[in-house]
Structure 1
Amino acid sequence: MLQVAFIRENKETVLKGLAKRNFKNAEEIVNQTILADEQRRATQTELDAVLAESNKLSKDIGIFFKSGEREKAEILKLKTAQLKDKSKELSEKLQEKATELQNLLYLIPNIPNEIVPAGNSDEDNITVFEAGKIPALYDGALPHWELAKKYDIIDFELGNKITGAGFPVYKGKGARLQRALINYFLDKNTKAGYQEVQVPYMVNEASAYGTGQLPDKEGQMYHDAQDNLYLIPTAEVPVTNIFRDVILKESDFPICKTAYTPCFRREAGSYGAHVRGLNRLHQFDKVEIVRIEHPTKSYEALEKMLEHVKDILNELKLPYRILRLCGGDLGFTSALTYDFEVFSTAQNRWLEISSVSNFETFQANRLKLRFKNANGKTELAHTLNGSSLALPRVLAGLLENYQTSEGIKIPEVLIPYCGFDIIN
């Protein structure tokens, strides 16, 4: 969430940033926000004046009673009663204006970093890095959903029977490969200095608002209405909320966490090869990395996160590229995002497998995540997160790029985790 003072003092910068995002009704919402803030501050000023006058009269009443001027004291008591009613009215108005302002602020996305390119969709994203050799597959190579059926390692129909579309069942070597990837990712992350945490798979409303899933993703999250809890769309939500309402010390930075969780997303379904098999699921596994950083160090930390994910993909020997997302494709909370994509040779297309983002102070402002600087003043921290990695499309890329006429080979780095070197 943007700070209202920033919006008020940098209106043109905010509008320019929102224009880069193609944010609709930007000027109208920004103007409403500034007006709501002016009304809130004016109400606060009026309330402060009423309270100050009431305090003064209370002191005068005491003086009059002591001096025996009871009649004057009684007159002032009537006036303080009127002021009490006025202060109650103003307090209620102040709360209404504060809620109105908060709800408007929730609608405004983060301002893109200056290096974010303009653009309307993923077609306008910029490729900033590419590595790995695209393999030449044998005649008769199959997409992963056909390989899954051929080797009986993932059962999409069984998952549909048990739950519905988008909830696959992993079987035999498919399940073991899935577990191997999770353990490998966690080991890589912990060796890089990320502390592993196990977190709840459901969060309360405050947590969903804290990291920006609500109200932006309202309707896209699985919701238990009875307890008002949400199934997490990513471990970013519970992990980052560890630090909600926390004041850190500068010496606490950097804070680096990693977590494995299943993730749940009620994304609207569609048809076609681009969403077949593992390409889009309602439940999937992901290992996440989260960093809490000093504002002066967050972009250096973002580069370290990019190098870390590159290292994993280099070890898996998958062809991949990194994209800098344009304003129109940028997530609601992000100031700058890089997407990692692996190339699926059997599908002849790129598959997104990770997003690495810097949110700057946007989440921290919602979370009230602050730190004391060297001068003892309180500042907002910066938050970052990235997938390290999301399993479904990594698994799809492995199955398709490592397939041979004899079976699906296992990347060398995963063999100790799997306990086998081929699926056949």
Structure 2
Amino acid sequence: MLRRLMPGLVGVAPMLQSVGDSQRTEPPMHDIRAIRENPQAFDEALRRRGLDALSAELIALDDARKTATSAAQANQERRNALAKEIGGAKKAKDEARAAELMEEVARLKEEGPALEAAQTEAGKVLDDRLAAIPNRPNPEVPEGADEHGNVEHRAFSGSRTKLATGRQHFELGEAFGLMDFEAASRMSGARFVVLKGQLARLERALGQFMLDLHTGEHGYTEVAPPILVRDEAMFGTAQLPKFRDDQFRAGEEHWLIPTAEVPLTNLVRESILSEDELPLRFTALTPCFRAEAGSAGRDTRGMLRQHQFNKVELVSITTPDQSANEHERMLGSAEAILKKLDLTYRVMTLCTGDMGFASQKTYDIEVWMPGQETFREISSCSVCGDFQARRMNARYRPKEGKGAQFVHTLNGSGVAVGRALIAVMENYQNPDGSVTIPSVLKPYMGGIEKIEGLKS
């Protein structure tokens, strides 16, 4: 299994020991009460995910938790009652009765820690089991086992002539002398790259263009978040504990973010918002870090699958009744990037077997890559319902009705900058080997028309 680490970082840490323990304040990520009320619906949702029925097991674990809780509470209630009886016996100067009652209190105190430990352990077992169960898919999500079950939602063909084939991005970049994998490997190992000169500027231009469009036209607020986060933040967005092997650990207390979804979504953790504040829309351009532990042997050439890459992320926090519309809006925002770059792409609705762990429904945008003669993912836009909000304890107060409710969270790539760079290089390549700069990027490139000057 691939485990190359950035210089100065320690290995991927063991599974979180704190997740699910007695110190965690977040509610369960699945509502056990809802599972009890309709176990058949829960099991059917898991079946669509390709999983076995779990409601009976979860209800049994909840019964065990309730039994342990009742035993601990009964112990404490009896001790409280005995304290009053002891006071009455002493007041009546019945020393024998007081001594007898005090002996019972001592016995109950001795039993108390074991009962409390059993209560804590029963709660932890249930919470850990719930934490390992993926989100339930929306009913309209197509059923399927893997990517072959995905369904095309819509497609877009740019105004430029679509290249059927061409040189791959790394062939172009190395011919320019501006894409150096060997130097990166000497410093950091496999799955890193050094970009130079006009390619480095083109990558920067793409990121700035995306941010300007999302903030200026799509209503997102730009955020410059930390790229180091603690266990709780990674648990909140469901990178932990299930996907710990795909993450980079930095020191004893932090993780490098795999996507800005983590800090942007966690901006509302342990908060109660007013409905008037929603929706919240955030965007950020950050480095992202992924161990790619499960992708050994895949896309080893070029920049498609890197340990470190830049990405513009979109995150929305909204009410349950608006989350479906917000999902379509977010997808449109991501598509706008590719339309303005005049790139050919298609939108795929992911099937139940290909969706992410935290997602209820996901659209993938796949851009045409003539160098590979295929479409490749460049953005993934997901609605998560209240799945992440429960893990973060993020709520809002409705204008009408009593009590706080969980918000709905959404996230999407707006878009992956490195893959956009690849798409531009391959789709805008010319017969002489040069790469034309898309018109929307020229202001960010100082008016440069082309990247040329290929090595012989």
Shorter-chain TM-score tier:
over 0.9
Kindly state the Cα deviation for residue 49 of structure 1 after the two structures are TM-superposed.
2.3
The match for 2:384 among 359, 383, 395 is 359
User: 1:79-117: per-residue Cα shift (whole Å, max 9, x none)?
Assistant: 222222233221110011111111111111100000111
| Contact 1:138–1:405, Cα closer than 8 Å, also in 2 | no
Aligned amino acid, residue 418 of structure 1:
M
| Contact 1:135–1:401, Cα closer than 8 Å, also in 2 | no
Query: Match for residue 249 of structure 2?
Result: 223
Q: Distance in 1 between matches of 2:269 and 2:252?
A: 21
Q: Distance in 2 between matches of 1:401 and 1:315?
A: 14
Q: Distance in 1 between matches of 2:329 and 2:75?
A: 54
Kindly state the Cα deviation for residue 55 of structure 1 after the two structures are TM-superposed.
1.5
Query: Match for residue 8 of structure 1?
Result: 36
The match for 1:160 among 180, 185, 207 is 185
- Which shifted more, 78-87 or 301-310? 78-87
TM-score (norm 2): 0.88
Kindly state the Cα deviation for residue 65 of structure 1 after the two structures are TM-superposed.
2.2
The match for 1:22 among 50, 65, 79 is 50
Kindly state the Cα deviation for residue 138 of structure 1 after the two structures are TM-superposed.
7.8
The match for 1:124 among 110, 129, 149 is 149
Q: What is the 5 A alignment of 1:18-417? A: 18-23=46-51, 26-27=52-53, 29-133=54-158, 136=161, 141-191=166-216, 192-224=218-250, 226-267=251-292, 268-271=294-297, 274-373=299-398, 374-406=400-432, 407-417=434-444
Aligned amino acid, residue 65 of structure 1:
K
Kindly state the Cα deviation for residue 291 of structure 1 after the two structures are TM-superposed.
0.9
| Aligned residue pair count | 419
User: 1:307-343: per-residue Cα shift (whole Å, max 9, x none)?
Assistant: 1112221111100110000011010110100000100
- Which shifted more, 105-114 or 241-250? 241-250
Aligned amino acid, residue 342 of structure 2:
K
Q: Distance in 2 between matches of 1:40 and 1:233?
A: 35
Q: Distance in 1 between matches of 2:267 and 2:240?
A: 17
Q: Distance in 2 between matches of 1:140 and 1:197?
A: 38
Kindly state the Cα deviation for residue 164 of structure 1 after the two structures are TM-superposed.
1.4
- Which shifted more, 76-85 or 209-218? 76-85
Q: Aligned to 1:297, what secondary structure does the other structure show? A: helix
- Which shifted more, 127-136 or 334-343? 127-136
Q: Distance in 1 between matches of 2:58 and 2:415?
A: 38
Percent identity between matched residues is 37
- The verdict on how the C-alpha distance between 1:71 and 1:422 changes in structure 2, with shifts beyond 3 A counting, is same
User: 1:215-234: per-residue Cα shift (whole Å, max 9, x none)?
Assistant: 2112111123x414221111
Q: Distance in 1 between matches of 2:181 and 2:277?
A: 45
Kindly state the Cα deviation for residue 353 of structure 1 after the two structures are TM-superposed.
0.4
Query: Match for residue 10 of structure 2?
Result: none
Aligned amino acid, residue 41 of structure 2:
T
Kindly state the Cα deviation for residue 48 of structure 1 after the two structures are TM-superposed.
2.0
Q: Distance in 2 between matches of 1:234 and 1:198?
A: 13
Aligned amino acid, residue 306 of structure 1:
L
Kindly state the Cα deviation for residue 277 of structure 1 after the two structures are TM-superposed.
1.0
| Contact 1:138–1:404, Cα closer than 8 Å, also in 2 | no
Q: Distance in 2 between matches of 1:136 and 1:151?
A: 24
Q: Distance in 2 between matches of 1:408 and 1:95?
A: 62
User: 1:343-396: per-residue Cα shift (whole Å, max 9, x none)?
Assistant: 012321001000000110111111111122333302111111000010122111
Q: Aligned to 2:259, what secondary structure does the other structure show? A: coil
Q: Distance in 1 between matches of 2:63 and 2:164?
A: 69
Structure 2: 5+ residue runs without aligned partners? 1-28
TM-score (norm 1): 0.94
